[in-house]
Amino acid sequence: MKKQSDLSKLFDYAGKFRILTISSWILSAVSALMALLPFVYIWKIIKEVLDVAPDFGQAQNLSHNGWMAVLFAVSAMLVYIGALMCSHIAAFRVQANIRSRAMHHIVTLPLGFMDSIGSGKIRKTVNESSAATETYLAHQLPDKAGAIATPIGLLVLLLAFDWRLGLLSLVPIVIAFLMMGAMTGKRMEAKMKEYQNALAEMSNEAVEYVRGIPVVKTFGQSVFSFKRFKASIDNYQKWVISYTKDLRTPMTIYTTVINAVFAVLIAAALFFTADGVTNEFLLNLLFYIIITPIITVTLNKIMYASENKMIVADALARIDNILNMQPLPEPAHPLSPKDNSVTIEHVTFKYPQAKNNALDGINLQIRPGEHIALVGPSGGGKTTLAGVIARFWDVTDGAVKIGGANVKNVSKEELMNTVSFVFQDSKLLKRSVLENVRMARPNATKEQVLKALHDAQCDDILEKLPNGVDTVIGAKGVYLSGGEQQRISIARVMLKNAPILILDEATAFADPDNEVRVQAAFSKLSEGKTVIMIAHRLSTVAGADRIYVIKNGKVYDSGTHEELTAKPGLYADMWEQYNKAAAWKVGVLNA
């Protein structure tokens, strides 16, 4: 199958607006040719002046030729403005369609997709890749069309007056094109891809670094604690220096030759006029010296368009990488869970490109309405296990069942209505509190939303907001703390009222006052539901019906809090360390 060209892809995104893109090329080319005509009339003016000198009163056509030069210059400018209007309308449509298509596809992908790629990289890919196509279509392609038309018109003009000077004027152009090829060939396309990779990695790591600033400030760590962020900066620096060195020689030669056309003409003039100079030769020389700077402008437009073409090719490839990612398959004959039990049978899961399994042969049976906790060392697989229950990813082997139905055989909509997930870092949109909570159930009444907010211990938040539940979060200085955002998110989950609830370190960022309120909200939220809780703060899980200790992707131990602390083991050691840490904090506060 023939590979689709980048221009063809852009036309697909443009739809019916592609005619405007083509029109912009035609108008730009016409404008470029019209822009050459004033030079012809300037040549006529100079010729007439030389012909009648020193009796300048005999010149009859100076005014006519002058006005014709102005007319074509203004006309060329107006036609070029028309070309840009067409190209911008089409470019904005393409940019919007790329973003729309990418975002519509992203929402069909499992939530694990965001974790595997990184939100910073996704945002950069969608925003900057689409923006790159806008610049290319709106400016570079019309300019390139004009830049191609200009040499054709120039070639006619350069050879029409003095073919010797015309051919010599083309020598620097040939050298410049050779240098341009060295800077925009296949090798440089690979370099441009490396550049975009380095930028994307640095952007993603920067987002993660900013999110971790509270930890840095709390524990007095330096920036070097974030080794991946620093490594991404070092990698970008290394690439930029290498790329600059590769371009140093061809760029120096290119810049020299395109700005030295007049020098070639003057050297040629000295050679051709060794036996004397005629008015005709002087007139032609002046014409070439006046018109050849257009060559510099034209070649620069072609070079920048070629460079931008590489950027666009890389941008479209990155968008295609997202669009080529497949959503999790939907069942042909969906099943419905019979109850809110969760069964995990011999589940194994490995992340893409990972060497080891994140989950390795796990078996769990969670009864309807049972409250269980997942604890263990960081990186042991707790969040991954919760993720496969909510089908953020499909398991590599084994089965995850909800109410007796394999989650692969439950429709996405029903699974989302069955399982609610409260993350440790809750996200709210720049909308009113009402709209943020109502996202869980768009048809909910305002009274139902207010009840959910009340049950989520949010009354004190609403009281301090200028417009209560209708206050837009993030507008005019209205911001909420992490614990307050968490309570708003809990209200959203309460409104959804799914029978299975997964809490992933949901009190991690809450201050003591907010933690008390969040815990009270969880107590209300958990009534009659199956609850799966992930926590490092062991005091929050002591009352769970059953605790599972997860280590290295396996169930290391299980039992009630009393059973696990009564025998030697990982949980007993963790509980002892937790109590020592708590006692140390109390001692420090008393001191």
Label residue 1 by pLDDT band (50, 70, 90).
Answer: very low
CA distance 524 to 361: 34
Other beta carbons less than 10 A from residue 401's beta carbon = 20
Element (H, E) at 585: helix 570-590
Q: Looking up tokens 């974790």, which residue turns up?
A: 115
Q: Name, of 158-162, 238-242, 329-333, 406-410, the range with top average pLDDT.
A: 406-410
Q: Report whether pLDDT(64) > 70.
A: yes
- pLDDT at residue 586, as a whole number: 45
Q: Report whether pLDDT(231) > 80.
A: no
CA distance 411 to 278: 88
pLDDT tens profile 278-330? 777 777 777 777 777 777 777 777 766 666 777 788 788 888 888 888 888 88
- pLDDT at residue 53, as a whole number: 73
- pLDDT at residue 587, as a whole number: 47
- pLDDT at residue 381, as a whole number: 87
Other beta carbons less than 10 A from residue 274's beta carbon = 7
What residue type is assigned to position 399 of the chain? A
CB 61 within 8 A of CB 177: no
Which two three-digit tokens encode residue 395? 């398991």
CA distance 58 to 53: 9
- pLDDT at residue 92, as a whole number: 92
Q: Report whether pLDDT(220) > 50.
A: no
Determine which of 4-13, 305-314, 403-412, 568-577 has the lowest per-residue pLDDT on average: 305-314
CATH architecture of 6-323: Up-down Bundle (1.20)
Q: Report whether pLDDT(224) > 60.
A: no
Provide mean pLDDT across the span 487-516.
76
Burial of 219 (0-12, 13-18, 19+ CB in 10 A): exposed
- pLDDT at residue 323, as a whole number: 85
Q: Looking up tokens 């965001």, which residue turns up?
A: 114
Cα 315 to Cα 6, 246, 308, 475, distances in angstroms: 10, 23, 10, 33
Comparing CA positions, the residue from 376, 339, 392 lying closest to residue 530 is 339
- pLDDT at residue 24, as a whole number: 93
Label residue 399 by pLDDT band (50, 70, 90).
Answer: very high
Range(s) for CATH 3.40.50.300 in the chain?
342-566
- pLDDT at residue 219, as a whole number: 41
Determine which of 47-56, 295-304, 503-512 has the lowest per-residue pLDDT on average: 503-512
Provide mean pLDDT across the span 507-514.
57
The CATH number given to 342-566 is 3.40.50.300
Determine which of 220-224, 484-488, 540-544, 555-559 has the lowest per-residue pLDDT on average: 220-224
- pLDDT at residue 83, as a whole number: 94
Q: Report whether pLDDT(438) > 50.
A: yes
Instruction: State the chain's mean pLDDT as an integer.
Output: 80
pLDDT tens profile 334-344? 889 999 899 99
- pLDDT at residue 397, as a whole number: 92
Label residue 546 by pLDDT band (50, 70, 90).
Answer: very high
CA distance 375 to 354: 23
Q: Report whether pLDDT(86) > 90.
A: yes
Q: What DSSP assignment string belongs to 293-346?
A: HHHHHHHHHHHHHHHHHHHHHHHHHHHHHHHTSPPPPPPSS----SSS-EEEEE
More confident residue, 407 or 520: 407
- pLDDT at residue 321, as a whole number: 83
Range(s) for CATH 1.20.1560.10 in the chain?
6-323
Q: Report whether pLDDT(392) > 90.
A: no
CB 343 within 8 A of CB 503: no
> How many DSSP H helices and E strands does the chain contain?
23, 10
Cα 287 to Cα 43, 261, 294, distances in angstroms: 6, 13, 12
DSSP code of residue 529: S
pLDDT tens profile 114-173? 666 666 677 777 887 888 888 888 888 888 888 788 878 877 776 777 777 777 777 777
- pLDDT at residue 261, as a whole number: 73
Label residue 504 by pLDDT band (50, 70, 90).
Answer: confident
Q: Report whether pLDDT(97) > 70.
A: yes
Burial 476-514 (b: 16+ CB within 10 A, else e): eeeebeebbbbbbbbbbbbbbbbbbbbbbbbbbbbeeeb
> How long a stretch of residues is the chain?
591
Angle of the 37-52 helix axis to the 141-161 helix axis, nearest 10: 30
Provide mean pLDDT across the span 455-477.
84
Provide mean pLDDT across the span 49-57.
74
CB 368 within 8 A of CB 530: yes
- pLDDT at residue 548, as a whole number: 92
Given the DSSP bridges, would you call strands 500-504 and 419-422 parallel, antiparallel or unpaired?
A: parallel
